[in-house]
Amino acid sequence: MAAAKKPAPFKNEQILDFSKPVNFNSQKEAIAKLRKKLGKTHEIVIGEKKYKTKHTFNSINPSNKDEVLAVFYKGTTELAGKAVETAHDTFKEWQYSPVEKRADILFSAAEIIKRRRFEVNAYLILEAGKNYAEADADTAETIDFLNFYAREALRYAGRQPVVPFKGEKNELVYIPLGVCAVIPPWNFPLAILGGMTSAAIVAGNTVVLKPSSDTPLIGKLFYDIMVEAGLPAGVLNFLPGSGGEVGDTLVAHPKTRFIAFTGSMEVGIHINELAAKVQPGQIWLKRVIAEMGGKDSIIIDADCDLDAAVDSVTAAAFGFQGQKCSACSRAIVDKAVYNEFVKKLKAKVETLQVGPADENFAIGPVINESAMKGILDYMEFGGKEGKLLCGGFKAEGNGFFLEPTVFIDIAPNAKLSLEEIFGPVLSVIKSKNFDDALKIANNTMFGLTGSLYTNDRAKIDRAKKELLIGNLYFNRKCTGALVGVHPFGGFNMSGTDSKAGGRDYLLLFTQAKLMSEKIDV
């Protein structure tokens, strides 16, 4: 039998340029085509069977709250148990499937997404409220995860180094864990969902996927793509539903082996606590892979390119309406350049226009009404802790639109400085000097991303040692991590530092098995 063809070295998928009319027009056409197919009711899929339940919920367009994109049957405790049992039974065979077969499914899925790129973007634009560039970045990252993890699985399946020992033949292999409950967020509803799910599957595990109730249609799209790519029934099971009913059942089930979660700190803590309790009949300690929140800072040193810093802060704070765990929600600015920075920042932010994502406005909607109300509460409270520089109110439109908002003169220990808002709200904090800036940057319970703008090499070296941040950048924004280039994950209450898109990631989805055989010498 011929040896399997080795894949070409990994390279990142390039993001499309929507300033080019051909791309812009293709995207607009794809949105129009997708709209003609929307409004269907989608069933739960467990193994080879589809299920309907008594209750349904709607997926709506956050840019137009009256537009129903799809209807979904709501999962139940009983179906959650059935899904885990089905995944557990499927795992008995899937765990022995050749790694080349698993990798090929991921490669095929990546090609399907590339072929349907504008259509896939359209789902993200309509259901998640992403503008064209943000949607395409999400799609490109999904392609990257599929291609990267497929290659990683092949690498892990290769011969692993162990120290030779006379008289023995020793072999170390990485084997799958079992059933994985994948609980993804709504903010990267394709990339993070696809990344966690594909990592679990290519490592030989089976999955019960509970998509976010805000973006279930994108979850169903990924499920359908994986089936089209050749994934057998039961390896991936699609189960939308509430966190309290479906999510908790999946986490607590004794046959769930591990949980891959991305979301808020509060939910992550709850999942970790629930997973830690050993249930009757459970024969393992469950593993939790958790990426949680962030309260991310960009430090602006007195010695830096101030215009570049303003551009990066604006992009990192307000890209996708600040709804990224990596978003810059705090600008820590040296007092020597504080006033000038604030003046330039105000001028920059006020150029941002708010409107529907399908019309490709720079700032689209936040994800839902509850999020909008919560962020408005922070905007109202912010005036008590600092001075409103710009924004601060709901924007016009029939969606969940908010003005990009900046508060200045915020104290390092203020509520706005310490709590994750997850919306288009930036706090500007004045630092006395570089020592003070480092102290402020480290004063939250999070440690996900951050950036330093400076031309002083000594300060960069100090930041490398002293800032407790999982993804630390210099003279660039703190968002936009690339698969393979910037392995992503954070410290403290930002999660378990899983380093998604890195060479260590699949270790979290496997366990190492050592086999030793005595031989004649």
Of the residues 134, 291, 403, 420, only one is catalytic, namely 291
Whether residue 333 contacts residue 432, with contact meaning beta carbons closer than 8 Å, is answered with no
Whether residue 382 contacts residue 316, with contact meaning beta carbons closer than 8 Å, is answered with no
Lookup: tokens for 40: 């269907």
Whether residue 209 contacts residue 182, with contact meaning beta carbons closer than 8 Å, is answered with yes
Cα separation values, 437 from 151, 230, 352, 457, 481, Å: 41, 52, 28, 16, 24
Distance from C-alpha of 448 to C-alpha of 429, rounded to nearest angstrom? 19
Lookup: tokens for 186: 């709504």
Whether residue 503 contacts residue 481, with contact meaning beta carbons closer than 8 Å, is answered with no
Query: How many residues would you count in the chain?
Result: 521
Distance from C-alpha of 481 to C-alpha of 333, rounded to nearest angstrom? 23
* Token pair 């706090």: residue: 427
Give catalytic status of residue 328 as yes or no.
no
Nearest to 145, CA basis, from 95, 209, 192, 185: 192
Nearest to 453, CA basis, from 313, 318, 296, 295: 313
* Sequential DSSP letters for 146-160: HHHHHHHHHHHTSPP
3-class DSSP state of 378 = helix
Of the residues 180, 325, 390, 478, only one is catalytic, namely 325
Element (H, E) at 86: helix 77-94
Amino acid at 99: V
Give catalytic status of residue 325 as yes or no.
yes
Distance from C-alpha of 27 to C-alpha of 122, rounded to nearest angstrom? 7
Whether residue 178 contacts residue 206, with contact meaning beta carbons closer than 8 Å, is answered with yes
Distance from C-alpha of 45 to C-alpha of 94, rounded to nearest angstrom? 18
Cα-Cα-Cα-Cα dihedral sign, residues 476, 478, 479, 482: positive
The region that residue 294 occupies, defined by phi over 0 for left and psi between -120 and 50 for alpha, beta otherwise, is: beta
**Any alpha helices (H) in 131-215, and if so which ranges?**
132-156, 191-202
Distance from C-alpha of 463 to C-alpha of 329, rounded to nearest angstrom? 19
The phi and psi torsions of 214 (rounded to 5 degrees) equal -85, -25
Residues labelled catalytic: 291, 325
